[in-house]
Structures are given as structure tokens and as C-alpha cells.
Amino acid sequence: MKYSTALWFFPLLALITACSTTPDKQPDYAQFDKAREAQRFLEQGQPEQAARLYQNLANSQLGYQNQYRLLAAEAIMQSGDNAKAKRYLDKINSAKLSPTLRSQLNLLYAQLNLNIGNAERALDRLMLVVSGQLNNSKQRHYYQALAFAHSLTGNPLAAAKARIKLHPYLNTDSSLSSNNQAILEALMLLPRQTLILNQQPAPDILGGWMAIANILKQKTTRVGAFNQQFSAWQKQFPNHPANTDFLNDFLPAQQQAYQAPKSIAVFLPKSGAFAQAAQIIKDGIMAAYHQNSAQQVPLRFYDSSAANIVSLYDQAVNHGAELIIGPLIKSKIVELAKNKELGIPVLALNHIENLSITNLYQFGLSPLDDARQIAAKAAADGHHKALIMAPETRYGKRIAEYLSAAWEQTGGTVLGQQFYDPKQHDFVAPINNMLNLDHSKQRYQRLRKVLNRRIEFTPRRRHDVDIILLSATPTVARSLNPQLHFYQALDLPVYATSKIYNGVGNRGKDIDLNKIAFSDIPWLFSEAYQGELSLQNLQQQWRNYPRKHIRLMALGIDAYQLNPYLGALVEKPFQGATGILSVNAENRITRQLVSAVFKEGHPTFQGYINSTDGATLNAEYDENPLDQYPEYYGAE
């Protein structure tokens, strides 16, 4: 998304000139020259220099400090330095702004929040914007931000409505086509029933979009039937914005097969908190690259640590990239999706919920898959009523939400959630609370008081639960599991997320994890993933890394090996190191995992978890996953 300065520059000059009403007070033409110079810097792609000039003007022009600070903040946002842009905005006293400038300030704050992935806060700011006070260029930015924020917060219908309002402010064929495509993609995320029930009759614009989205969602394979429906729609909505060359171009493009890239760019950070994780992903990519010597696709690596991700994308495309692997950091993914129309596929190495745009695939070790798979396995084993245990951290509470939602989707009931302090080794209190042992003790004390004598007592746990769904590290679980057994829960099955296994294991210590079942990636088990890229054969690459990063090598392996198959994942799942991979409606690559259980301190492979009913599938797989679907390699 490009930011225009002309919309403030010329009105600002007029405003300054109009303030000069006495002969001895001439306009400060020097400031006009500086403002023009700042604008030239922006046009030349040098926003930092523009920001410095605007900030200097803000310091010297006392009557127009806020206006120049807004321009400075907007310029620095273009450079990708969100923290500095926020400092500029925070210096502005909103109480002293006119209603128009206050709306512009809130719009900039909203765009800033979107850049860092905080869509909820962005929406709060956008609600304070009075769109009628903005000029055409700013209204375009406003509706673009509104649409994007609604998409990120899981409201595709509101996003489509915002884009319909955006339509009059777009003035190029490419921007109109991209906006139309985004409207359709948003509406196609809705269930058909929602489209049918909320569709208004012609000539309603939204109703027309819903009607064509409904036709596309039917996915009829009979060309004649589709053409008949499409022709009827054209007659019903003759003046609809989509009833142009857009649909004639869009529909064939939807049916074109994905073409395997001839050159790949990889965006990974070389410094910062994610540098080590990025390095092991890179090692996985390179291992897959060298293993596939017959069909290597050229790779070029780019450091995404501090670079503006949009500029990096343009640079990679100019270098000939036909696929981008990365970015890894969520804020970079959001910034790229928000500010760039993706002309080539991007395989992002992380997951942003409710983000769906053309050519953006999201691939990561998402805990959503983990929760869904272990819940499916537990349900298939005949369990119905669950208690959830998770660490009392931000991450733990999010995992508990995922587990709860996944369990309820299987038809099961969540009887409660219990959080624990992961820094402790004594879990008596949370276990007592979760199993209602405290109630049992209270009943004993009341009975003893009534009888006025000592009686034999054994605490009894609640009996309305038949499973515990657990999120815990190996260290925590080695203390927690024996304490569960001690407190009357020996017969209560425990199903855990992959967090419970570090990928290598320690038989002497893991004896305390006995009987716990968990889901994980096939790469960690020789029964599921063999060959040159197996865990055993790549020990030299991963053995010096922290165990918490070990699965990222499998992510790198699949990120490279997936490149010929992205367009085929809907119909032909790919058997990879991180699971059996397919793609959902949001272009998120989902993973079918394997099930294992600790026996005598050893994680014992059970089989793949059926994504439908949770049953394990004991199937054999080719040693080289790249060769499983040769008809899609390099094919259209």
C-alpha cells in the first residue's frame, strides 16, 4: 500500500499562505522548498530522508507542528520502522487537532497497528475515523485498512463490504481487478448457507457478489452447468462491477494449474531473536536441495532481519524469483500482505489466523494442527468428556482454547480447564482443584465433625471425566504425570500435544511419561519417515541445536520439497516430513500428524492419525516424497 503525500502537501501550502494577512508577514517560502524536497525523497523511495525533513519543519514551524509530524510519521512508516513511527505519532497532542487531522491521526495509528499484526486495536482506531472528513486518497487508505483489519479478525463479510466501499476510490484497472478478486475471496470463505440467506436481490452490489461467490463455491465440474449459471447471473446483475472483463479473466485464472518455479527466493532473518530458528530452517532447505540433485531449483537467500519486506519482495522478483519461501516472523507476513499485491506465490513460514489473500500460502508448525489431531485421536479412542491442563501463560491459554475448540468439534464435552505454573514442580494444588479432591476432603471434614470421631478416609476424584488433554513440556510432564497417578488418576488417560516430546527423548527420564499418548510430525519416527532426509541421516546438521528447534529442520525440508506441488495440494495431499500436507480454504497448509505413546520411557509410533475420525493409519510411504506425484512436477 503506497502512501501519498500530495494530499497534505498542497493544502498545507495553501493553509500557510492564507494565514499571511498582513503586508509585513510574508509566507515562509523556504519551508515550501523543504516540503517539496521531502516529497521528492518519497517519490525516489527514500522515506527516511523525507521524514527527517518533515521533522525539522515540525521543530521550526510552530504553527504547523502537528501537520508536519503526521507527514513525518507517515514517511517513516514507509521505511518499515514501526517503532519510530509510533514515537512520532505519540508526540502529537490529539486534543489540539482539527477533526480532519484527528481522523488522519487515527488512520495512521490503525495502519501502524496493522503493520505489527494488532488488528483488534487497529479496528478500535478505525472506529474513531470519520471517513467523510478525509479526501479521496485518504478514504482509499481508510477502506483498505478497514478491509484488512476485518479479514485479520475473522470477519470476511465485513471485509467484503469495506472493499465494496473502496471501489469508487480506485482509479487503475489493476487496482480495481485486485479489489474485485479480494471481495470474491473474502465471500468464498463464508458457508454457502450464509451466502444464500444474506443475499439481497438485484441490483444490490453485495448481493451480486454473494451470488457469484455461491456459484463458484458449488465447484461444479460440468462446464455446461457452470456456464448456464454464470449466464443467468450476468442477466440478473447487468450493471454489476464484476460483470466486466474482470470475471472473464478471473474465472479462467482460477482454473489454471500452478506452475512449478524455476527460481526460489528465501526470506529468513540472520539476526535477532529468530536467527537461530531461521538457521535450522535454512539447513533443512539446503538438505532437501542437495538431496534432489536431479531437479534442483536455484535458491537465493535474503536477510529479512531489518529490511523493508515489501522492498525485499520487489528485489527478489526483479532477480527472477518465481516463488518466495518466507517470511518467518508474523509481523513481516502481515506487512507484506497488507502492502503488496502478490504477483508470485509466497510460502510464508508461519500462520496468521483469518488472513487469506491471493498467492499467499501459510505453512508452519501450527499448534492448531496439533490440537485438532490429538483431539481426533482421543475421540476415535472412544473418549467423550475431557479436562484440559495447560500452563498459565499467554501461550498456554491459547493452546487451551485450541484444544477446547478441537475437542468440541469432535462432539466431545469440555468439563473444565486447569492452568498450572510451569516453573513449579509441585502440582498438588492444580491437580486437587481439577479432580475435585478438595471437595472430597471437605466432605470428610464435615462428616468427621458430625460424627465427632476419626474415620478412615481416602480422597476420591471426580468420576464424570474420562480423559485429560495436556499441554506440557517434557520437564513439567515428568513431574506432573506421576503426581496425577498418585492422586487417584492412574486410570485416567492423558493425551498430549507434541510439546511433551523434545524429538530425541531420554529413556531414563521419560519413564515418568508412560502411557501418555501424543501427536507429532512423522520426521521424528523412523517408521514414518525414512531415507536421506530422515532424522537419523541428518544428525550432523541438527545435533548442535536446542531440541526445541529440531522440528524446524523438517519444516525447511518440506518448504523446499513442496514447491512443485502447491497447486495440487487440494486434490493430492503431499506426504512430507512435517505430516501429510494439504491446503484449506484460507491457503493454510494443514498437517495430518502421527500418533505415538510412551512405553517404558520410549515414544512408540502408532501410525498416522486419520484427519476425519482420528484412527491411526499404518501405511508405508515412499522414501523420497518428491517423487510421489511426478505428474505435477513442472506441469501446468
**Secondary structure of 531-567 in the HEC alphabet?**
CCCCCCCCHHHHCCCCHHHCHHHHHHHHHHHCCCCHH
pLDDT surpasses 60 at 2: no
Tens-digit pLDDT profile for residues 528-564 = 998 899 999 999 999 888 888 899 999 999 999 998 8
The pLDDT, as a whole number, for residue 632 is 21
Residue 578 lies in a domain: yes
- Rounded to whole angstroms, the Cα distance separating 236 from 232 reads 6
Burial of 480 (0-12, 13-18, 19+ CB in 10 A): buried
Q: Which of 18-32, 523-537, 586-600 has the lowest mean pLDDT?
A: 18-32
pLDDT surpasses 70 at 21: no
Tens-digit pLDDT profile for residues 142-196 = 999 999 999 888 888 999 999 999 999 998 888 888 898 889 888 888 887 788 8
- Rounded to whole angstroms, the Cα distance separating 343 from 428 reads 56
- Rounded to whole angstroms, the Cα distance separating 470 from 24 reads 78
Q: Is 408 in contact with 417 (CB distance < 8 Å)?
A: no
pLDDT, mean of residues 284-306 = 88
The x, y and z cell numbers of residue 117, run together, are 499484526
Tens-digit pLDDT profile for residues 371-416 = 999 999 999 999 999 999 999 999 999 999 999 999 999 999 999 9
The pLDDT, as a whole number, for residue 531 is 87
Instruction: Pick 74 or 595 by higher pLDDT.
Output: 595
pLDDT surpasses 60 at 526: yes
pLDDT surpasses 80 at 481: yes
SS3 content of the chain, % helix, strand, coil (to 5): 55, 10, 35
Q: Which of 20-24, 275-279, 314-318, 513-517 has the lowest mean pLDDT?
A: 20-24
pLDDT, mean of residues 253-279 = 83
Tens-digit pLDDT profile for residues 79-97 = 778 888 888 888 888 888 8
> Average per-residue pLDDT in the chain?
81
Crossing angle (nearest 10°) for helices 205-217 and 173-187: 60
Tens-digit pLDDT profile for residues 590-624 = 999 999 999 999 999 999 997 544 555 443 332 22
According to DSSP, residue 488 is labeled: I
- How many of the other CB atoms lie within 10 Å of CB of 40? 13
Residue 425 lies in a domain: yes
Torsion of CA 159, 162, 167, 173, to 10 degrees: -30
DSSP bridge partners of 602: 599
The x, y and z cell numbers of residue 313, run together, are 519482495
The pLDDT, as a whole number, for residue 461 is 53
Using DSSP's 3-state secondary structure scheme, residue 458 falls into coil
Q: Is 334 in contact with 352 (CB distance < 8 Å)?
A: yes
Residue 610 lies in a domain: yes
Question: Which residue stretches of 223-274 are H helix?
Answer: 223-236, 245-255
The pLDDT, as a whole number, for residue 258 is 60
pLDDT surpasses 50 at 519: yes
Length reported for the chain: 636
- Rounded to whole angstroms, the Cα distance separating 337 from 348 reads 10
- Rounded to whole angstroms, the Cα distance separating 279 from 277 reads 5
The pLDDT, as a whole number, for residue 61 is 60
What Å distances lie between residue 290 and 280, 284, 529, 560, CA to CA? 15, 10, 18, 11
To 5 degrees, how large is the angle CA 571–CA 572–CA 574? 145
pLDDT, mean of residues 356-380 = 92
The pLDDT, as a whole number, for residue 227 is 67
Instruction: Pick 235 or 39 by higher pLDDT.
Output: 235
The pLDDT, as a whole number, for residue 357 is 83
Q: Is 32 in contact with 12 (CB distance < 8 Å)?
A: no
Residue 247 lies in a domain: no
Please give the model's pTM, rounded to 2 decimal places: 0.69
Tens-digit pLDDT profile for residues 115-148 = 888 888 999 999 999 988 888 889 999 999 999 9
Residue 391 lies in a domain: yes
Helix (H) or strand (E) holding 598: strand 594-599
The x, y and z cell numbers of residue 387, run together, are 479436562
Instruction: Pick 629 or 98 by higher pLDDT.
Output: 98
Residue 429 lies in a domain: yes
Residue 209 lies in a domain: no
What's the total number of domains in the chain?
Answer: 1
- Rounded to whole angstroms, the Cα distance separating 59 from 78 reads 21
Burial of 352 (0-12, 13-18, 19+ CB in 10 A): buried
- Rounded to whole angstroms, the Cα distance separating 19 from 23 reads 12
Helix (H) or strand (E) holding 512: none
- How many of the other CB atoms lie within 10 Å of CB of 408? 13
Residue 552 lies in a domain: no
Handedness of CA 85, 87, 88, 94 (dihedral sign): positive
- Rounded to whole angstroms, the Cα distance separating 304 from 333 reads 11
Q: Which of 53-62, 228-237, 414-423 has the lowest mean pLDDT?
A: 53-62
The pLDDT, as a whole number, for residue 253 is 52
- How many of the other CB atoms lie within 10 Å of CB of 254? 10
Give the CATH number for residue 600: 3.40.50.2300
Instruction: pLDDT band for 453, please (50, 70, 90 cuts).
Output: low
Domain encompassing residue 446: 367-530+563-632
* Rg of the chain, C-alpha, whole Å: 29
Exposure string for 499-529, b = 16+ CB within 10 A, e = fewer: bbbbbebeeeebebbeebbbbbbbbbbeebb
Q: Which of 336-340, 409-413, 564-568 has the lowest mean pLDDT?
A: 564-568
